[in-house]
Amino acid sequence: MTERVDTPGIDPADFRVHVVAQAIRLFSENGYEATTVEQIASAAGVSRRTFFRQFRSKEDVIFADHESLLQQAGDYLSTNSDDPWAAVCRTAGLVFDRFRENRELSARRYQVVQRVPALRDREIVTGFRYERLFVDYLRGVVPTEPVLKVIGFAAAVTACHNFLLRNMIKGDPDATAEELERALLDVRRTFGVAPGASTQEQDAVLVVSYPPGTPVEEITGRIQAQLSRRRG
């Protein structure tokens, strides 16, 4: 049997996005477990060998566009250090915009992930990679800031982003880029890093308590509730 010859000269990022889209479509239509790597490769118009040069498994492919996004987010942060706190918020906004532009694909992925426990766990780990990126960036550009402040800020930004992202994917008309911008401005005010923040605001600490096993959505809701009370 002659192996399919893949088209040369395709941008690697575009290629990966194309394969991701085809894989998620098949997962959505046929089920994750029932879909094979061979079926994904065939739908994407590539050989099995080419598939495995880019992805280790079919689990990897469903989150592969995050790899490109994380790289873009890191590149953006590396060129924006005048206001590091604002740069982190803008980066979260860029990630939100990317998924909003591909809402149909994001919605299909969400539906697939919710049906497969292993994928839900992988999604949580992927979310923490953005948070870790923000922490590492801030610790590098504002090394004199307390570590817990940096960690808390990155966690709050990520939580607000993820909460609104999920709602946007579900079709909530209020989950907009503008609402995310407002929420992240509240985060900056809470941590005393918004323009014109007072000394009292700079010393503010956001504390959210929750028992072990609390769902991420509930933790996010508690953070937003605290921010809303401070806004009022």
List, for residues 75-89, the tens digit of each pLDDT value: 999 998 889 999 999
Largest CA distance in the chain: 72
Same domain, 121 and 145: yes
Confidence (pTM): 0.77
Which element (helix H / strand E) includes 108?
Answer: helix 103-115
Q: What is the mean pLDDT of residues 1-17?
A: 59
pLDDT of residue 201: 45
My answer on whether 86 and 142 are in the same domain is yes
Q: Give me the number of domains the chain comprises.
A: 2
Q: Quick one: pLDDT at residue 2?
A: 38
The count of other CB atoms within 10 Å of the CB of residue 123 is: 19
Domain assignment of residue 123, yes or no: yes
- Per the prediction, the chain carries an average pLDDT of 85
Q: For residue 3, is pLDDT > 70?
A: no
Once rounded to an integer, what is the mean pLDDT over residues 181-209? Answer: 75
List all residues 6 or more positions away from 161 whose beta carbon is below 8 Å from its beta carbon.
92, 95, 96, 130, 180, 184
pLDDT at residue number 4: 46
| Structural domain harbouring 32 | 12-61
* pLDDT tier for residue 139 given thresholds of 50, 70 and 90: very high
| Residue 40 near residue 18, CB atoms below 8 Å | no
What percent of the chain clears pLDDT 90, i.e. is strictly above it? 60
The sign one gets for the Cα dihedral 129, 134, 140, 145 is negative
Cβ neighbors of 82 (< 8 A, separation 6 or more) are none
**Does the structure show a pLDDT above 90 at 210?**
no
What is the average pLDDT across 13-25?
Answer: 87
Could you tell me if residue 77 is inside a domain?
yes
- For residues 170 and 217, state if they share a domain: yes
Tell me, yes or no, whether 136 lies in a domain: yes
